[in-house]
Amino acid sequence: MKTSCNRHPLSAALVLGLGLLAGTAWAGETCELSSGGAGGAVVDADADTLACGQGSQAAANATAVGTGSIASGFAGTSLGMASGATAQAATAIGASAEASGRLSTALGAGTVANLAGSVATGGYAIAAGVGAVAMGGWVDTDGDDAVDIEERTVASGLNAVAIGNSARASGENSISLGATALATGNSSIAAGTLSRAEGTGSVAGGLRAHAEGTRTTAIGVDSHALGISSLALGDSSAAEGDFSVATGRSALAQGEYAAAAGYNSRATDRETAAFGANSLASGAGATALGVSGTAAGANATAVGYFSSAAGSQGAAFGAISSAGGAQSTALGAVSSASADAATALGHTSQASGFGSTALGNSSQATAVGSVALGYGSVAERDGTVSVGTAVSGRQIVNVAAGTQATDAVNLEQLQSTLATANAYTDTAVATGGTAANAYTDNREAAIRTDVDAGDAATLSAAQTHADAGDAATLTAANAYTDTQIAGLTGFDPASINGRMEALEDRFLEVDGRLHRQNRRIDRQGAMGAAMLNMAMNAAGSSSPRGRIAVGAGFHGGEQALSIGYGKRIGQRASFSLGGAFSGGERSGGIGFGVDL
């Protein structure tokens, strides 16, 4: 049955309403609501259809309502002026809405759902991929009153989802959530205003977050993940190298496999790691750990507050420690190894000579290949080992006897050698004197025989010859003895007594120095005990003005006094300073701590 209601709109409405209330549709029914003019409604006469509106068209089991609406697909629904549902079971609702894909839905003015299972909701939204979903309204961002493609919400990839004004999801299985969000990579997710997920499997979350590389993740306002499988987490964080990780506000991981964690931390080269606020690892393979720690050399390591390892393969451990030379090592707070291959171990120790070693608190090795051992020791000549200073020396004890030409000689060996030299001299002198006496006696006997047999002239000549022989023999014996002793000991035996007296003076001087050093060590111990007791009482102050503390210390008969001040700064930090005094000795210190 075909019914036309071109001139009776009220009757048509009543007929349509009665049909809906009855729960059945009339086959081939048309409802032309306009008054006169060409282009009446058109329906399939052999099927249950409804077309209502001038120029509307409905195919089998379809419904078209609105001027120029078209429901040409089986069981399609088109509601709105110039709307079109042209595929099977498609639904188009809204002026100029277009649903041309099987089972597609277009809801809103100017919406387009043109592939199977696609859904477009909102003004001018476009779902152009199979199973795609686009939800968002149109905003005239450039103010030209024209609908530009970049101003429309578009889901064009297979199973893509775009939700938000001007959101776009073009990658297969991609999701774009937020105004102007963009997901172009397959299986990518962009969530947040102006966020972008451009790599396959990438995720961008937050205002202006950007995940560009394959399988990258950028979470946080203005975060950027550009390298393959990189991760940027935090406000303004950036992971630019492949497989890099940046965590924390303004953290930067630029090199491959780089890792940066902490506020403004930076790992700028391949396989670098920077952990801690303002930390920097800029050398290939370098590691910086601690607030403001810096590892600039290749494969360098800096651990500690404001630590620095600038040399290649350098290592700095401790607050404000510095390893400036290649292959240098600085271990201890404020320690410094500034030359190549130098080593500084201990608080404020310094190794500034090539290949030098400073071992001990405040020790210094400034010359090439020099070694300074012990607190305050100074080695300032090339290739030397120092156990003290020019004004404060130390004894080296428990030294084994030397066996090779370059071994050290201990006091026992020196004394044994001296005793051997003295015995040899005594023997040589005794032997020489006996021979001379025997020779003299023999000559005298011969002369007496000659005298008895001869005259006075012969006796006089014999006596003269005997005197000359005695003198020559004694001189020869003395010279021989002196030569043998000099060859054995390396010095003139006539100077033995003087050398022994000088050695005794040196022993007395060394004993005095040791006594003074013992007093200094006792004073240092007393100052340490005083500082410790002062620090224990200065810590933990809850007063906004801080706390003043005093400590006393005793060690080996020496006394010391310490005074200091401590104050908390905010909820996480604390500051302290103090000094200790004992006789002519004094020390001071300052400290700062932060709860991590």
Give the Cα separation of 214 and 216 in Å (integer): 5
Distance, CA of 557 to CA of 493 (rounded, Å): 46
Closest CA to 172 of 182, 162, 185: 185
The two three-digit tokens of residue 474, written as one number:
């004694």
What does the pLDDT look like over 262-281, one tens digit per residue?
A: 999 999 999 999 999 999 99
- Is 475 in the same domain as 542? no
Per the document, the length of the chain is 596
pLDDT, tens digit (0-9, with 9 covering 90-100), for 292-344: 999 999 999 999 999 999 999 999 999 999 999 999 999 999 999 999 999 99
Global pTM value: 0.62
291: in domain: no
Mean pLDDT throughout 447-473?
61
Average pLDDT over residues 209-227: 97
Residue 352 lies in a domain: yes
* 578 within domain boundaries: yes
**Average pLDDT estimate for 56-63:** 92
Q: Would you state the pLDDT for residue 472?
A: 72
Residue with tokens 């005083």: 530
Give residue-wise pLDDT tens across range 468-488: 756 776 677 667 766 766 666
Inside any domain, residue 326:
yes
Q: Which conformational region is residue 414 in: left (phi greater than 0), alpha (psi within -120 to 50 degrees), or beta?
A: alpha
Cα 327 → chain centroid: 18
CB atoms within 10 A of CB 280: 24
Domain of residue 321, residue span: 297-391
Give the contacts of 413 (CB within 8 A, at least 6 positions apart).
401, 402
213 in Cβ contact with 224 (< 8 Å): no
Domain C-terminal end among 360, 391, 422? 391
- Evaluate if residue 14 carries a pLDDT over 50: no
Q: Nearest 5°: phi and psi at 274? A: -130, 120
CB distance 342 to 350 below 8 Å: no
374 with 421, same domain: the answer is: no
Dist. CA 301–CA 290, nearest whole Å: 11
Task: Identify whether residues 525 and 565 lie together within a single domain.
Answer: yes
Strand duo 371-373 + 385-386: pairing: parallel
Are residues 385 and 456 both part of a single domain?
A: no
Q: Alpha helices, DSSP H only, in 175-308? A: none
* C-alpha–C-alpha distance, residues 9 and 339, integer Å: 101
Most confident of 171-175, 507-511, 562-566, 568-572: 171-175
Sign of CA dihedral 256, 258, 263, 264: negative
* 56: amino acid identity, one letter: S
The reported pLDDT for the residue numbered 412 is 85
CATH number at residue 524: 3.30.1300.30
Q: Using CA atoms of 94, 96, 97, 98 in order, give the dihedral in degrees to the nearest 10.
A: 160
425 DSSP β-pair partners: none
Do 301 and 384 share a domain, yes or no? Answer: yes
CB atoms within 10 A of CB 569: 12
pLDDT of residue 431: 67
Q: Give the tokens for residue 145.
A: 């009153």
- 538-542 LR contacts (CB < 8 Å, sep 24+): 538/564, 538/565, 538/566, 538/576, 538/578, 539/566, 539/574, 539/576, 541/566, 541/567, 541/568, 542/568
Higher pLDDT: 509 or 14? It is 509
Amino acid letter at 214? T
Bridge partners, residue 591, by sequence: 576
d(CA 238, CA 261): 11
Q: Does 415 lie in the same domain as 359?
A: no
Q: Which residue has the tokens 């494969």?
A: 299
**301 and 383 belong to one structural domain:** yes
Judge whether 465 lies within some domain. Answer: yes
Query: Is the CA virtual torsion 506, 510, 511, 512 positive or negative?
Result: positive
SS3 385: strand
Indicate whether 86 pLDDT > 60.
Answer: yes
In one-letter notation, the amino acid at residue 402 is G
Position 61 in a domain: yes
- Tell me: the pLDDT tens digits for 369-409? 999 999 999 999 999 999 999 898 898 888 888 888 888 88
Let me know whether 355 and 430 are in one domain: no
- The residue type of 89 is A
Query: Could you tell me which residues are beta bridge partners of residue 357?
Result: 343, 371
Q: Measured between alpha carbons, how far is 360 from 387 in angstroms, rounded to an integer?
A: 10
542 and 575 share a domain?
yes
Judged against a pLDDT cut of 50, whether residue 547 lies above it is answered with: yes
What pLDDT, on the 0 to 100 scale, is given for residue 49?
87
- As a whole number of angstroms, the distance between CA 558 and CA 419 comes to 42
Q: Which two tokens stand for residue 235?
A: 């406000």
**What are the pLDDT digits (tens) for 137-191?**
888 888 888 888 889 999 999 999 999 999 999 999 999 999 999 999 999 999 9
Based on C-alpha coordinates, what's the Rg of the chain?
Answer: 52
Do 467 and 540 sit in the same domain of this protein?
A: no
pLDDT of residue 515: 79
Over pLDDT 70: what percentage of the chain?
A: 82
The rounded distance, in Å, linking the Cα atoms of 185 and 62 is 38
Same domain, 483 and 528: no
Asked whether the beta carbons of 140 and 168 are under 8 A apart, the reply is no
Residue 489 to residues 428, 484, 556: CA-CA distances in angstroms? Answer: 15, 9, 43
pLDDT at 229: 97
Question: In this structure, are strands 547-555 and 558-569 parallel, antiparallel, or unpaired?
Answer: antiparallel
Asked whether the beta carbons of 590 and 577 are under 8 A apart, the reply is yes
187 in any annotated domain: no
Please check whether residues 382 and 302 belong to one and the same domain: yes
Q: Which amino acid is at 200?
A: T
The pLDDT score that the predictor gives to residue 118 is 97
- Average pLDDT value for the chain: 85
Q: How many structural domains are present in the chain? A: 4
Q: Which of 578, 524, 522 is nearest to 550 (CA)?
A: 578
Residue 419 counted as domain residue: yes
User: DSSP readout, 314-379?
Assistant: -EEESTT-EE-STT-EEESTT-EE-STT-EEESTT-EE-STT-EEESTT-EE-STT-EEESTT-EE
Contacts of 456 (CB under 8 A, 6+ apart): none
- Specify the CATH number for the domain of residue 373: 2.150.10.10
